[in-house]
Structure 1
Amino acid sequence: MALHETEHDTGSRPAAGAAFSFADRLLEELRRRRIRLWVDGGRLHYDAPAHAIDDRILGLLRRHRDTLVQRLLHAEEPTAGPGTPGSQWLRPLKQTPHGTNTVVFVIPAAGSGPSTYRSWAEAAPEGLDVVCVHLPGREERFAEEPYTTVGPLADRIAHEVAGHLADSARPFVLFGHSAGGLIGYEVARRLDSARLKLLVVAASTPPSEAHTADLTDTELLDALRDWGGTPEEALSDSAVRTAVLPRLRADLAVVASCHRPWSEAARLAVPIVVFAGAEDESGTPEDCAAWSHWTTDGFRLHTVPGGHFFPAQQPARLLRTIAETVSGAG
């Protein structure tokens, strides 16, 4: 049996948390095909039976080689499976006992976590469950290293979403707030599922808009004030600033890494619904409307009152619109 090798760029490594990501699902498929992977000298090697390797598998190996190397190097570290009680990545806000509802997965704004969206639990109408993605470096996961690039982060979220839904046929929606909208787009690209009914984006401009993470502390604090949602007493506390600003800067690096030029190939075959705040200067309704170019399957823009954090302030309105849109889409 011939031994094959893919090139590995040792100068480009994913964040530490990236090793436990979409690669787990790919490794499971490779094991079913009896394809053996190992790392030697910083390179990824594989050995396979005849006809086990096709163009799709080769493409996945090339695309995810850095993540696979890190995953194999850390294989001795225990990890919780997706959707299990030990997984910290998903926080159910509203979950019906029988699991027949459409699930809305909420990807928070930069620096935010599940507590920002706790009002969604009571606001969710009949027919919708709500699960918030809990990212490293936020709230109870504050001590963990945050991600700084979108690729491995989107891989991991897609892995968790797929695992959460693995035992059911439920449809689902991806909802991204601000930075979460850009991350949600990347997650949608990774989920080849007819059950994904909508990508919903709030207070976010599309990936073709360039974003910078190179902000001074003063500029970052001014941006936080403009966005709203952060008490002034917190912004004035030096200990809070010292702890929070580096993690927020990491989140903005993720946003900057989302940049991609528009192309036909980048369009999703999933409807996109966008909510824009009428008083949100960081992403006006006109700016947000540019998301219409990023789908081949329907687009709708809703302008609502409020600034950047309107999703946390009027969840009933957003969730009702999502429920009606999913119902109308059949």
Structure 2
Amino acid sequence: MPSTRRHRRAWTALALAVGAASAVAVTSTAPATSAAPGYAPAARATITPGVQMYTQGSQCTGNFVFTDAERRTYVGYSAHCAGLGEATDTNGCAARSLPLGTRVTFNRGGSLLSPGTRVGSGRLAYSSWLTMRQRSERNANACAYNDFALVRVARADVRKVNPSIPFWGGPTGIDRDGTRTGERVYSYGSSSLRGGVTLLSPKTGVSLGDAAADGGWSHPLYTLTPGVPGDSGSAFVDARGRAIGTLSTLGLAPLPASNNIGDLARELDYAKAHSGIKGLRLVKGTQRFDPLL
């Protein structure tokens, strides 16, 4: 896809370019609920959707929390975050990636000058890019848009996890009917380009509708502010708090400053079918979803 670039390593040329615009600057009033068994209360958790994830120096943003039949815990991010190619490599069936088992760290407060504070670690447990390449995937839309990976949280760090999206709450489930033009979407990005300014992390925007040519695998949208390098992998939910997708690419043309998200329902179904992880499922947030709008 020549019109897109992967949100890979933080680009110095874009440093703090998004600082001029602000996301919704209000505090959520959603009431807290009890944490899921084995997870930390949201107020004390340090590994949540929106956490910064570092893979051999490349920073991305965690999207949702997942579990399996063995009650193991995973945090999702983009498969290209563990990619070995250039930022313009967008074909997951051809791009090279780091192997399963690669160490990933969870950090807070990372910036261009510092990776921030390490709050936990995990290992790459699934990559759509590795899987599609190994399977010789022939679906062109899957190759272009199935950009999803899972990091298994280290056992000692599971107690630091909460599945709620900061600021917004949720997710409440999975959206399986795509997006409509003008439909409101919500996200939380943690790019190190923002220099640790979390005021700019919550984002809201609108869908540009689904392109039939993508086969439902991708959803273009605009947010204020747009997702930037380092936001890759971050969660997007609809007005009911349902998980729509994960941030994958930055559109350059014909829709400059737009973003494209991979469809989570399709990405997760693919992982269920081919990852070998039994009983893989999304964990709902313990905080009530509150769009505040």
TM over 0.5: no
Q: Which has the higher helix share?
A: 1
Structure with larger RCO (C-alpha < 8 A, sep 6+): 2
Q: Which has the higher strand share?
A: 2
Name the larger-Rg structure.
1
